[in-house]
A and B are shown apart, each in its own frame.
Chain A
């Protein structure tokens, strides 16, 4: 009798361990899921995606940056997107939103801002999904998720 009881209890014990593993793995999965959504595609609005391989750059840079109403890209610490690239000016360029459209503007940077390989003049240019933005040594892809996705 005692043997049967302890056998059953042992089964329950093992089942609890499996449940524990299940709960842990599920929690980890949810963690990764939210992190993944934060990193790509999960942005409410547009974002910049790094095209360069990060290991080719000798300064830290994120895989992606969220773009909301007004983002200044530059070397300065106060910029919204602050990257320690030596080829960037303190305030290099700006992405801003105006009546639902995104525009890229050069802030009189030393090395210039390039959109799809063409240097920007003093006029702001509208950004479209898939545009390539080059500042300093960094190449970004501008991603604008279409609405209703």
Chain B
């Protein structure tokens, strides 16, 4: 049997990083609230407990959670440094996220038989929430994508990401299309299935475009394309989709003003340095001010960057911890996505495999889109940096997504496809 060796080294490093980071922040900033110390202690405690629970109860992959915790800790430290109230809220969100993480593991494991049959439910809920957002939505940062319920604002498009992955995975691995006489898929069925996948993907992406959720629309499309790449075997269909995406992008650039702005500021931010190019220029100034080793936490000037706590948090990290710190963050994401693919590869159930591929791609592409955006590698689209950006919906969603991955990794070998 597999021997489980419990190493506390990473846990030790995580706690040290937590405490050290908090120390630096508190040293450089008078924080009125004492809660922050208690919350930090509570967070360390939760880190320890969760790590031990996952490793001792054999809840699957032992690396996911600790990497997430490290990323969240970096996020919390930066949030507290920028705005201590946000920091406290972010810590609470982290605790809530961990709670959701474990709930997701349990729920996903208990009902593991039903998840692949709920395609219509996933799709229906997505569409319903699009409609609700359109009717009740509030406008924030130029996008109408928030619903405010009892003082709490939530962003439904964040939660739809998981539903989207689940619905595509459910269609792609649906047994109905597979089991005909010879157990071999015939071509027509395969085409029908890819057609349904395409319809779901395009409807979702279209609704997101209506909401002006550029970033998430691109993210959805990337997930859809990677599914096509993995499950479809028609090169023609794949290229047709890429062509469709490119032409949609081209039409967007030509005729829609807000996309035009994004692209033109990406190509030449100095053309309107005090206006439209301000964001991206400030972000780049911040990164260059930080240099290789950074200005030290608490001694940069991230306030100059607009919406620094959510979209531009990566620039703030680069400014204060240097490019080295930024690369460390990217490496953490890299390992996380790698673990996701590893889980997908070792999963023995088709649906679970598809879900874990989708979620890993989601995490990787999301990081690429926003980090690429703030360093001006690609046009900037507003999307959150998973686990680090300030924002409840995004935090909880990513925790749920990773909870599903953790659940899938723990079901390895237990759940296989049924064989007659």
Contact = CB atoms under 8 A, between A and B. Distances in A.
Contact of B321 (A2, A13, A28): A13
Q: Main SS of chain B's interface residues?
A: helix
A23 B339 CA distance: 15
B7 interface: yes
A1 B38 CA distance: 28
Interface stretch (A4-12, A96-104, A106-114, A129-137): A4-12
A6 to B, nearest CB: 5
A28 B336 CA distance: 11
Contacts of A9: 20, 23-24, 27, 296-297
B10 interface: yes
Contacts of B28: 2, 6
B364 to A, nearest CB: 17
Given A14-B321, A23-B13, A6 B298 contact: yes
Nearest to B322: A14
A14 B10 contact: no
Contacts of A44: none
A20 B67 CA distance: 9
A59 B419 CA distance: 7
B321 A23 contact: no
Contacts of A7: 294-296, 299
A51 interface: no
Nearest to B325: A14
Contacts, number: 92
A11 B331 contact: no
Given A5-B27, A7-B295, A20 B20 contact: no
> A interface, how many residues as a size bin?
20 to 34
A125 interface: no
Contact of A3 (B7, B74, B299): B299
B254 interface: no
B16 interface: yes
27 contacts: A6-B298, A7-B299, A10-B294, A10-B296, A10-B325, A13-B17, A13-B20, A13-B24, A13-B297, A14-B294, A14-B321, A14-B324, A16-B16, A16-B20, A17-B325, A17-B329, A17-B332, A19-B13, A20-B10, A20-B13, A21-B332, A23-B9, A23-B13, A24-B10, A28-B335, A28-B338, A59-B419
Given A20-B10, A20-B17, 14 more contacts: A3-B299, A5-B27, A6-B27, A6-B28, A9-B24, A10-B24, A14-B322, A14-B324, A21-B328, A24-B63, A28-B338, A59-B419, A60-B416, A60-B419
